[in-house]
Every structure is written in C-alpha cells, then in structure tokens.
Structure 1
Amino acid sequence: MRYALLGPLLVTDDRGTPHVLSAPKMELTLATLLLAAGRVTTKEQLIAELWSGEPPRRASAAVHVYLSQLRKFLAAAGDHEGRAIVTKPSGYLLRLDGAGYDVHDFQAHMRTGREHQHAGRHEAALDSFESALLLVRGPVLDGSAEAPGLSAFATWVEEERLDCLELSVEARTALGRHREVVSLLTGLIAQYPLRESFYRQLMLVLYRSERQAEALRVFHSAQRVLRSELGLEPCRSLRRLHQAILTSDRVLDLPLAG
C-alpha cells in the first residue's frame, strides 16, 4: 500500500490501483491520522479537525462510524488483516507497517538533496530536489484543508515546495545552466511576486551571465512590487546584493551559496 497526502488524498494498493475516498469527513479522518502516522491521535483531536471547534452533539459516535468505514476502505486497498488503524486507550494510531508515504519520501529526498548540495554534488542534488517536487501533486486535499492541523500542514507543504524550488535553482546555477535558470525564475517571480529570494537568485544569475543592467532592473522591479503591495523596502540581503552588483564586487563571482 501507499498513502499520498501531498495533493488530493490517495491510497494505492500493491497493484498500483488508486483508491479515493468520496466522503469528506472520512477523508479528513484519514488525513488527520496520517499526519500523526505512528503516533496516537486522540478522539478530541479528531473531533477538533472534523468540526473545527463546533462539533455536533453526537460527534463521538460519528467518529466511531468514520473509523469503522475507514477500516473497510483500507481493507479493500490492501490492509486485509485490519492492522492499519489501531485503537489505543488514549485514541487511535495509524500504522504504516511498511506502507509507502509520500510525505516521508519528500522529506527523505530533501535531506539527500541538501547533503549532495553541501558536498558539491550538484547533479545528484538536483535529481533529489526534482524527485521531491514530483511528489507534490497539488494543494493538500484539493485546497479544501480548512481543519486547523491540516491547514497548518498545507502551509508547511507549500513552504517546503518553494524551498525545494529555490534549492533546485541553486543546483542548476552551480551547474552553469544559466539560461534555464533565468527562464524558470522569471516564471516563479510572476507567480510569487512577494518572495524576495527569487529576485535575489535572478539578479545573481543575470549578473554572472554578464547582464548587469538586467540584474539591476530586477531589483527595481522588486522594489516597486514590495512598496506597492506591502509598503516595504526590499530586505537587507537584496539591498546588499544590489549594491554589490553596482560596484561589481568580486564576491559575486563565487559559487551560489546554499
């Protein structure tokens, strides 16, 4: 079996057949258990996630029903012995017990990529970061994750995905793939105009491609956007980079730092 939570919730059996939950409350129940895979989730935590602090009078009974239905669903997806969801005195525990889980795989790829990047193995680092990015299939639960814990998880996933994109850009830059990086960052800035790190990376790669004037225009573009949207000036690191480009500081000729 394999669980996938980096996008629409999906359970895949050993034959690769996908199993999808159609009932939103059951989907939320499984997603909440997955977030704490290997740890106990209390009934109170489940109720808080399912009804966001406004539970019905028979919430406890409803949780029992959802868990019973989930056990049947997981049995059809490959948990034939009913071992995945375990009832404990303090709540419920989802055991992966050898099942795959995309969140763990994503974290493993990120760790490996950072290790390769730190050691200067940029091609291997890029492979790891691209493998991580492929696991993110879209917004968590199709963007409907309004429960407190799942909403926080969705925010974490998006931030990790953006960090992974930044790291992949650094790996490409270290490999000298400047034209590819310029195109990628131009698109990312259009999509995330308030993320200053993308402006920083674009300025640096343009400067190293002997396009100093364009690098300076990127800074002024960032300045306009930040002033207009937030009433703020660019962050200190972006201002320092702008000054370094103006003076052709030789430190900019060093490889991009991780």
Structure 2
Amino acid sequence: MRYELLGNLRVVDGPQISSIGAQKIEILFATLLANADHVVSCNQLMNEIWGEQPPRRALAGLHVYVSELRKFLHRPDRAQSPIITHAPGYVLRLDGDELDSESFLTLAGVGRRLVREQRYEEARELLEEALSLWRGPALGDLGQGPVLSNFATRLTETRLECLEMLADVQLERGRHRELIGMLYTLTTENPLRETFHRQLMLALYRSERRADALKAYQSARRVLIEELGLEPCAPMRDLHEAILRSEVLEPVGV
C-alpha cells in the first residue's frame, strides 16, 4: 500500500486508488502520515482539525474520526490497523507501506549528493524521478494547521531546491535551450527566487539571446526593488556584468 501526500491525499493499493471525502478526517490522516511512526498527541490532532478553539466535545469527535479512518484503511489481509492508540495520542505505523513524501526526500537527498560530486547525468535522473512524484501542491488544500503547514512548506521548499539543482545540472550538461521555457515559468511562479532568474539569464545568453538575458535581469531587478527594496544578489549582478562584457560562459560538461 502506498500513501500519497504530494498532491491531494490518496491511498494507492495495487490498481485501486481511494481517497476520503470528509475534510476533517483527511486532516487527521495527513497529520498522522506527516509524523508516520511517531506518536501524535490528541491535543496536536485537535489543534490541526479545529484550530486553537476546538468545540467542547472535540476529544469525542476525534475518537470518532479515528474510528472512521481505521475503517477506511482496513484490509482483509491485515490483522491489525496501521493506526495504533499510544498515549498521549495515536501513531500510524508504516510497517513496509510506502509514503511518497519519504521517497521524494530520499531521492532529493541522493540527488543533492550527486550534484556535489559533479555526477550530473546520475543527478539528473534522480532529480527527475523525485519531481515526477508530485501530482499537485503538497497536501492539496489541507495544510492549514501548524503541523501540516510546516510539513507542506518543507516539501515545497525541497521541490524548489530540486528544480534549482536540475536546472544547474542541465546547464552544466549544455542543455540550456531546453531549459528556457521551464525557467520562464518558474520565474513567473516564484518572482522573488533569484536563483531561477540567474539560471534563466544564463540559459538565454548561452542560447545567443543576449538581449533577452539582459531584459530578464532588468525585469527581475525591478520586481526585487518594488517588492523588497533590494538590489539583485551578487551572483546575479556578476552574471549581468559578464553578459555586458560578452564573456564566454560555456558549460563544463558532464
């Protein structure tokens, strides 16, 4: 069985894909998965489900939701539910089941190491595999409470880091022309993330589009000044100067 959080929450069991329609039970499920194999207290769970002012009978409601979740996860070939009562709350045991967020973080970590070792082709394969696990925003629209919000932020930041590393790898492999469309999209979606702007400038410049590279710098600079009152970071400014001087900025290759 595979639990998937990199998009709307769902369970994949062979050919069968199932999801829960009730949002509060989904929040309970997602919170337990975000802390898989670790106990989550009843207070934490109630805070995720109802916020800082839970209803008077919130604890009783939580027990009902846990019961419903156990029914949802019941499989005839399993003697025990993956959700275990353990003071001061509950724990979801993976016991060999897969969790897509764990797979993603593992692949991202290996990809990061391969980039440091300049093993670019292997890094590309691992990073693309990691990114392919995403079906949409982490947790869909469930990440409102502190636990799920922090968990979704961590996953999203790691995804953006993977995209940055993948772009760097492709630039080193001389695949700059293939990157331009993706980087235009990423700079639009993440206008304050300077790495994407720098990568776009370099991809355009190496594609013999010097004027577009300079326009990309001016556009990014304008956004940073308007939004943050800041000039671009040193690597962006250095690249801008190198482009103005028409320096040769060729990839090092694999």
TM-score by length of 2: 0.91
Asked whether the 8 Å contact 2:2–2:11 carries over to 1, the reply is: yes
- Match runs of 1:116-155 below 5 Å: 116-155=114-153
The answer on whether the counterparts of 1:9 and 1:141 sit within 8 Å (CA) in structure 2 is yes
Structure 1 residue 100, shift from structure 2 partner:
0.7
CA contact 2:174–2:251 (8 Å) conserved in 1? no
Matches of 2:80 and 2:21 in 1, distance apart?
Answer: 21
Secondary structure of the 1:142 match is coil
C-alpha deviation, 1:210, in angstroms: 4.2
Question: How far does residue 249 in structure 1 lie from its aligned partner after superposition?
Answer: 5.3
Aligned to 2:6: 6
* Residue 237 (structure 1) aligns with: 235
- Give 1:50's aligned residue: 49
The 2-side partners of 1:60 and 1:33 are apart by: 16
**Aligned 1:84-233 pairs, distance under 5 A:** 84-233=82-231
- What is the rounded CA distance, in whole Å, between the counterparts of 2:77 and 2:21 in structure 1? 19
CA distance in 1, matches of 2:77, 2:108: 29
Q: Residue 214 and residue 186 in structure 1: after superposition, are their counterparts in 2 closer, same or farther (change >3 A)?
A: same
Alpha-carbon distance in structure 2 between the residues aligned to 1:157 and 1:88: 27
CA offsets, 1:147-195, max 9 Å, x none? 1211222222222211111111112112211110122212222222222
**How does 1:26-65 map onto structure 2 within 5 Å?**
26-65=25-64
Query: How much does 1:103 deviate?
Result: 0.6
Q: Which runs of 5+ in 2 are unaligned?
A: none
8 A Cα contact 2:186 2:196, kept in partner? yes
Distance verdict in 2 for CA 1:227–1:161, change over 3 Å: same
Q: Give the letter for the 2:90 counterpart.
A: Y
Give 1:79 shift: 6.9
Q: Which amino acid aligns with 1:6?
A: L
- Secondary structure at the aligned position of 2:56 is classed as coil
Identity fraction in percent: 47
Q: Is the 8 A contact 1:37 1:95 kept in 2?
A: yes
Per-residue deviation, 1:126: 1.1
TM-fit CA distance, 1:246: 2.9
Compare 218-227 and 45-54 and name the one that shifted more.
218-227
* Structure 1 gap segments, 5+ residues each: none
Q: Secondary structure at the match of 2:140?
A: helix
Counterpart of 1:184 in 2: which secondary structure? helix
1:203-244 Cα offsets, whole Å, 9 max, x none, are: 223333444333222211111222233332212322222223
Structure 1 residue 128: Cα displacement: 1.0
1:196 to partner: Cα distance: 1.1
The change in CA–CA distance for 1:74 and 1:247 in structure 2 (over 3 A counts) is: same
1:24 to 2:23 alignment: yes
CA contact (8 A) 2:48 2:146 kept: yes
Look up the equivalent residue of 2:93 and give its one-letter code. Answer: R
Distance 1:143 1:79, change over 3 A: farther
Q: How many residues align?
A: 253
Structure 1 residue runs of 4 or more that deviate by more than 4 Å after TM superposition: none
**Whole-angstrom distance in 1 between the partners of 2:221 and 2:67:** 55
What is the distance in 2 between the residues matched to 1:231 and 1:120?
36
Q: How far apart are the structure 2 equivalents of 1:173 and 1:141?
A: 31
